[in-house]
Amino acid sequence: MTSSSYLNPKCEVREHPTNGGCGVFACKRIAKGELVSLWGGKIIRREELDPSMPRFTQRVLQVDEELYLLTAEEKEPNDCFNHSCEPNLGFTGQIGLVAMRGIEAGEELTFDYAMSDGEPYDEFDCHCGSVNCRRKVTGNDWKLPELWQKYAGYFSSYLARRIEKLRQ
């Protein structure tokens, strides 16, 4: 099967029993700003979301107001990116992830779901273990002013527009 998504060849998927079953890791050094991933799939509207489908939270990525990207039914490497409250990846556009800093081989590649989720479709108790862990990840985390500064330039495009409106 051909993947509908792109994963930088410097990355690999590994089992991650405590964190969603899998994770994406750097197998070579990744430079700041380097493209790590592009999701592919089908665009669906909010009313088409089916939380009862298998692997719902792994397959759905919010890309705009009431629009979501649904990845392939079979698990793809890009379905294995985990959340962290201290991520090393951020968004470029709506479907791309880039390195926010230099990343060494062996590091897990993560992003903060607050960078893409603006709705409550994927809320959970967080156990990422970072010093700044929020303990709960919600669809409203993008509204936290401390994250606006921390992730400036790394929010999904539609959330960047929302943030700009709130700042005015």
The rounded percent of the chain whose pLDDT value lies above 90 is 73
Residue-wise pLDDT tens digits, 44-101: 999 999 889 888 888 899 999 999 999 988 888 888 999 999 999 999 999 999 999 9
Query: Phi/psi zone of residue 59: left (φ > 0), alpha (ψ -120 to 50 degrees), beta?
Result: alpha
Q: Where are the domains of the chain?
A: 6-167
Dihedral pair phi/psi, residue 112, rounded to 5°: -85, 125
Indicate the CATH number of 6-167 among 2.170.270.10, 3.30.565.10, 1.10.3720.10, 3.50.50.60. 2.170.270.10
Which pLDDT score, from 0 to 100, does residue 11 have?
Answer: 98
Burial class (CB in 10 A: 0-12, 13-18, 19+), 32: exposed
Q: What is the mean pLDDT of the chain?
A: 92
154 has a pLDDT exceeding 90: yes
The 10 Å CB-count burial string (b at 16+, else e) for 50-86 is eeeeeeeebbbbbbeeeebbbbbeebbbbbbbbbbbe
142 has a pLDDT exceeding 90: yes
Hunting for tokens 């919010």 — which residue is that? Answer: 62
Q: Are 24 and 107 in contact (CB under 8 A)?
A: no
Measure the CA–CA gap between 25 and 11, rounded to whole angstroms. 6
Which pLDDT score, from 0 to 100, does residue 2 have?
Answer: 56
Between 119 and 102, the higher pLDDT residue: 102
The rounded percent of the chain whose pLDDT value lies above 70 is 98
